[in-house]
Amino acid sequence: MTGNRTNKTSPRSTRRFYITQSQRRRIETMVAYTIVIAASLIVILPLLWVLLTSFKTRSIAYSIPPKWIFTPTLENYDALLNKYPFPNYFLNSAIVASVTTLLGLLIGAPAAYSFARFNTGGNFLRGWVLNNRTMPAIVVLIPFFLLAQTFHLQNTYTGLIIAYFTFSAPFMIWMLISFFEGVPAEIEEAAHIDGASTLQVLRHVTLPLAAPGIAATSILTFLFAWNEFLFALILTGNETRTLPIAIANFLTQRGVEIGELSAATMTMIVPVVLLTFSIRGYLVRGLSFGGVK
């Protein structure tokens, strides 16, 4: 007897989950926001801790567990004004950082323009400028100290500004080269056809177009001079001491003056933060200026 056998096999049901394009974008956005928030907290929380500590008394500042609810006090900031010559330190840092930045612009901008438009010195001179920037500062610390002693530049603004300018000028030149190269050469050629000289083109055409990049470079140079510690430790004295050295003096043999240290830290940070936020538009455009041509 023959018969037809029908083999019925039920295929396994498998479920597949498909993510739409909008859902994928939503997930990517959430991941990006999570990363940004986490990175921001890493930066902001230490600053918030220093800010709160600057309004605490010594006993509260060292309490364990930390006290988040307390009565604020201004005694730490009052100590900076009356117990220490902190306004003089602030003025010293402002003078040295401002003069270093201006001097770097006066010399660095024309030098960078010469590299960008005329290839002055070729690749060798460009590499030599960059090499000066990559050299560790501690390598030339003792020679700078001996030169400052020889020419009586210790405990003077001039000695510290020269030291800062030595390291900031190569940085400014290297940064400004890319910004000047980002300015179309056709615009300068049109100005030359209209009868403008090279200096007039640089002043009235190139510099205004490269202003965002110049502003970004100036801020970074100012921050370098504002925060520099090593040369200031060796070349300054009681009259020319800058903020980083003054803040380090709160680490004493008797312990850390945590409240005054926190107040001094906030005094040093706040002006730079306000300056950066006031020109943040220039800063963002400047940092991306050389990358888009």
The DSSP call for residue 74 is -
Q: How far is CA 203 from CA 184, 188, 211, 213, 243, in A?
A: 15, 11, 11, 15, 35
CA 221 to chain centre: 8
Cα 196 from Cα 43, distance rounded (Å): 49
Residue with tokens 């993510």: 19
131-154 confidence digits (pLDDT tens) = 777 788 888 899 999 999 999 999
Flag whether pLDDT at 292 surpasses 50: no
User: Model confidence over 13-60: pLDDT tens digits?
Assistant: 455 556 788 888 888 899 999 999 999 889 888 888 899 999 998 888
**Beta carbons within 8 Å of 61's beta carbon, 6+ residues apart:** 53, 258, 259, 262
Among 208, 183, 213, CA closest to 288 = 213
| pLDDT computed for residue 285 by the predictor | 60
Q: Are 216 and 282 in contact (CB under 8 A)?
A: yes
Rounded to 5 degrees, φ, ψ at 222 are -60, -45
Q: Name the β-bridge partners of 256.
A: 251
Distance between CA atoms of 138 and 128, rounded to whole angstroms?
19
Q: How far apart are CA 64 and CA 36, in angstroms?
A: 31
Instruction: Tally DSSP H helices, then E strands, for the chain.
Output: 15, 2
Confidence of residue 283 (pLDDT cuts 50, 70, 90): low
pLDDT higher than 60, residue 121: yes
pLDDT given at position 18: 64
Alpha helices in 54-140 (DSSP H): 58-61, 75-82, 86-118, 122-134
pLDDT band at 96 (very low <50, low <70, confident <90, very high): very high
Show the domains of the chain with their CATH numbers. 21-73 (no CATH), 76-289 (1.10.3720.10)
**Between residues 58 and 288, which one has the greater pLDDT?**
58
